[in-house]
Structure 1
Amino acid sequence: MPESTTRRPRPVRRVRRDVAASPFIVIWEATRACPLACHHCRAEARTARDPAELTTDEAVRLMRQITDFGRPAPLFVITGGDPFERPDLYDLIRQARELGLTPAVSPSATPALTSASLTRLRDAGATVISLSLDGASAERHDDFRGFDGVFGRTLRAWQSAHYAGLRVQINTTVTRTSMMDLPDIARLVRDRGALLWSVFFLIPTGRGRSLASLTAQECEDVLNFLYDIGSTIPVKTTEAHHFRRVALQRHVLETRGVDHVEALGLGALYRALRRRAERSGLIRPSRTRRPPIDVNSGRGLVFVSHTGEVSPSGFLPLPAGNVRDLPLTEIYRTSPVFTSLRDPGLLSGRCGDCEFRAACGGSRSRAFAVSGDPLAEEPWCAYVPGSFPYQDDLAAGLSAT
């Protein structure tokens, strides 16, 4: 018999759909009401609900529009503010399930997040929730969230969600003050168990404008650290699309047996994060990694605000239409805001010149927040187009993704 071979997984995963016709994920901001005062809040949440929010009937109409994209249905995430501020939340989840959607919920760690409310989410039909953990200690996390006790409540909800049979995604925002907490947060994710660790690279919008930004080189160091620990825990990035470029580079370098630290010019931050990860047993090269998925603002992702305004992302507030006036399918497929973001040939600056532009594309949200142009170059990327030394290997890898 012929000798069996093991096919090495692709370094970047493409969604199995035409993203010009159907998004991979629809995120609905059910409300902006939230009692917390998080430093990075995109929505600049307030305590009271907006009377202009989508009503229950309008929210159900939105969900029907999502099903109009066809099968498989897009992932459907209910976020906020805090979704628990909507008294119809459980009914909406039931309606989503009846329509054939699989809703995930992204609650805030408020007093409403209890074991009983998590059980009600499960009974209504939710299968996944996401919780935010922005520091490895109560002091760090609670300061970021603006209230004491949030860290402990998050850990209790994490455990309660597991007991309730809900899968948990952990979201972490990277800032200058939290960078060195990342290995300890990763250890918590490994030890407590999570469906996914989503590491969010700050967009200077909303309250996040007041937080100190990472440098482009610090981003390179953090992204390579995240690639390393992907051997132990499933990790993805949010608004750091150049993680796909890093995955492709590291794939080529590993195949050639080349030291990635020297080849990529990684710095002291990377070395420090890597040392701490190694001490915690977070790096195990034998495990298969979760390849980053090729989704970007307007290209596989669509955001619907609490008032029905549609934009490419919650962090890219370019209005493309309102679901009260036009079907979501029409807005996503035909709006110039969306169609332009799906054309990598329109990117400018270094992104426009980059050989990774189709696989990466950079954060369109950060480009817009910094320059006012959603097609400008990614300001938190240190890569110089054409500088990767193994272009032939890279071309083969890009064609295989």
Structure 2
Amino acid sequence: MTPSPAAPARRPSARPVRVQRHDPAQRPMLVTWEATRACALACRHCRAEAVPLRSPLELGLDEAKALMDEAAAFGRPAVIFIITGGDCFERPDLAELAAYGTELGLHVALSPSGTDKLTKEALSELQEAGVGAISLSIDGATAATHDAFRGLERTFDRTIAGWEAARELGMKVQINSVVARHNVHELPDIAALVREHGAMTWSGFLLVPTGRGIDLGALDADEVEDVLGAFYDMGEAVPVRTTEGHHFRRVCLQRQVLADRGVTDEEMMRIMGYGPLYRQLRERIAELGLDSGPRRRRPPITVSSGSGFVFVSHTGEVTPSGFLEKSAGNVRDSSLTEIYRRSEVFTGVRDPGLLKGRCGACEYKAVCGGSRARAYNMTGDLHAEDASCNYRPGSFPFPDDVAALMSGVGGGSGTGGHEGLEVGKAGQGGH
């Protein structure tokens, strides 16, 4: 039997999990607006089920500016306002909108698609309008994997070119990667691309069954746990985080406790319940030299659907996230700030006391809470347990150590700038 690669050296983090600096019941950290559902791609997972042409029902220019006014009304420091899609480059008024948001003091970021519209010239124009950060999707380590997933040849090459152009311009770049059966074994190689080209953040999006992604082939809970363990192992080499994988916060807490206790490699894997997928991924991680690095681990932040995050659709519907399609109102006839702060949908998803099943019993619910989008889409219940998590509440053997770490979790969310950009084509509004 082939021996497991040596356990990666682990540098304990001062803050294994970050909390939002401001009260998430009063203001979001991120406002994501789906500017259009028009897109040239035909991605297999698309939440928006994007179409080639723009809809006449989209928010118009004046309505979009009014939405930005509402986002600015949340106060200072200003929220990060992400313009996504579809493909936001399908909006001819994109630069005008970016400039308007910037004038309001918003931190405007974009999430474009990897099409022929993603050029250095277009990015430069938007940078002049005030855009300092973008997110792009890489869903395979090769063009063959990525292009098959995105439904159009040369999408991989265009995305890489756009990534390089943005970096040359000095823009901050987040890379998003869907995690599903088609590419799970390529995750370390995608991380190697992130290390090579450079990125502010690399986010692994754990598939939520919605839109075209219903039948894509999400991983089961044991496999998800293995992937989260692999993400943790790469945390000193690349700036890794997750979208719709809130239990990564639990993993970070548990793994730090085990590292601080100096448990053996095999004992760590036994306690965490890691399986064969984890061992396969970690072997490749070691081969690529991604099991250690100069970085301090990037602590995940307690942003989730409706708690620090709000999504506005192309027609103005307001939901806790782009995957949780339960409308709490429409900006055409209601105030975004009022919807976020007072609607039953938003106050409900922010209340951990309403959680059911294992999520309700879990000692980590205050920092995790599970994916409300996944729970709702699979059961119709906003407060059901998240089926992608295999953790059994109370089973971790060092609860006092975890409690001590959780009591020390402090602020520092990065809400004053683009460090908090956590969105993308993979997530259409990640968190």
* Fold equivalence (TM over 0.5): yes
The answer to whether the aligner puts 1:195 opposite 2:192 as a matched pair is no
Cα contact 1:311–1:319 (8 A) shared by 2: yes
Q: Contact conserved, 1:302 with 1:310, CA < 8 A, in 2?
A: yes
Inter-partner Cα distance in structure 1 for 2:263 and 2:346: 39
5 Å matches for 1:249-268?
249-259=254-264, 260-268=268-276
Q: Check 1:190–1:8 CA distance in 2 against 1; reply closer, same or farther (3 A cut).
A: closer
**1:364 matched to 2:369:** no
Query: In structure 1, what is the Cα distance between the partners aligned to 2:93 and 2:290?
Result: 41
Partner of 1:142: 147
**In 2: Cα distance, 1:26 partner to 1:290 partner:** 22
Alignment of 1:13-32 (within 5 A): 13-32=18-37
Q: Which runs of 4+ in 1 moved over 2 A?
A: none
Equivalent pair of 1:122/1:165 in contact (CA under 8 Å) = no
Task: Report the 3-state secondary structure (helix = DSSP H, G, I; strand = E; otherwise coil) of the residue aligned with 1:321.
Answer: coil
The equivalent of 1:63 in structure 2 is 68
**C-alpha distance after superposition, 1:126-171 (max 9, x if no partner):** 0001110000011100000001110111111111111222111101
Comparing both chains, which one has the higher relative contact order based on Cα–Cα distances under 8 Å and sequence gaps of 6 or more?
2
Could you tell me how far apart the structure 2 residues matched to 1:329 and 1:124 are?
25
Which aligned pairs between 1:19-98 and structure 2 lie closer than 5 A?
19-98=24-103
Higher deviation after alignment, 205-214 or 286-295: 286-295
Q: Which residue of 2 aligns with 1:352?
A: 360
Contact 2:237 2:294 in 1 (8 A): no
Deviations 1:325-381 (A, max 9, x none): 111100000000000111101000100010011110000011111111121000000
Q: Secondary structure at the match of 1:322?
A: coil
Name the counterpart of 1:317: 325
CA distance in 2, matches of 1:191, 1:283: 15
The residue type equivalent to 1:42 in the other structure is: R
Q: 1:99 to 1:286 in 2, by over 3 A?
A: closer
Q: SS in structure 1 opposite 2:40?
A: coil
- Supply the AA of the counterpart residue of 2:335: P
C-alpha displacement at 1:119, in angstroms? Answer: 1.1
| Consecutive unaligned residues in structure 1, runs of 5 or more | 1-5
Aligned match of 1:336: 344
For the residue of structure 2 that corresponds to 1:236, the secondary structure is: strand
Identify which range, 280-289 or 160-169, moves more after superposition. 280-289
Q: Distance in 2 between matches of 1:335 and 1:207?
A: 29
> Is the contact between residue 13 and residue 256 of structure 2 (CA under 8 Å) also seen in structure 1?
no
Deviation at 1:211, TM superposition (A): 0.5
Seen in structure 2, the aligned counterparts of structure 1 residues 130 and 287 have a Cα distance that, compared at 3 Å, is: closer
User: What corresponds to 2:160 in structure 1?
Assistant: 155
One-letter code aligned to 1:179: V
Partner amino acid, structure 1, of 2:187: L
Distance 1:287 1:313 in 2: 30
CA distance in 2, matches of 1:205, 1:356: 26
Within-5 A mapping of 1:259-298:
259=264, 260-284=268-292, 287-298=295-306
TM-score for the superposition, normalised by structure 1: 0.97
**253-262 vs 292-301, which deviates more?**
253-262
Is 1:131 paired with 2:136?
A: yes
Q: Please, which runs of 5 or more residues in structure 2 have no aligned partner?
A: 1-10, 410-431
Deviation string for 1:224-251 (max 9, x for gaps)? Answer: 1001101111111000000000001011
CA pair 209-8 structure 1, distance change in 2 beyond 3 A: closer
Give the SS at the match of 1:20: coil
Once the two structures are superposed, residues 279-301 of structure 1 have per-residue CA deviations (whole angstroms, 9 ceiling, x without a partner) of: 11112166311100001101111
1:10 corresponds to which of 15, 22, 37: 15
Q: Deviations over 1:85-138 (max 9, x none)?
A: 100000000001100011110000111111111111111110001110000011
Provide the residue aligned with 2:429 in structure 1.
none
Aligned residues: 396
CA shift at 1:8, angstroms? Answer: 4.7
Once residues 40 and 374 of structure 1 are traced to their aligned partners in structure 2, the CA distance between those partners, rounded to angstroms, is 22
TM-score (norm 2): 0.90
Q: Which residue of 1 aligns with 2:383?
A: 375
Q: Which residue identity is paired with 1:202? A: L
Take 1:12 and 1:24, find their aligned partners in 2: how far apart are those partners?
A: 16
Q: Name the Cα RMSD after superposition.
A: 1.2
Distance 1:15 1:258 in 2: 31
Of 255-264 and 327-336, the range deviating more from structure 2: 255-264
Look up the match of 1:205: 210
Residue of 232, 240, 248 corresponding to 1:235? 240
Residue in structure 1 matching 2:119, options 114, 128, 140: 114
- List per-residue Cα deviations over 1:251-275 (Å, max 9, x = no partner): 1111111242121111111111111
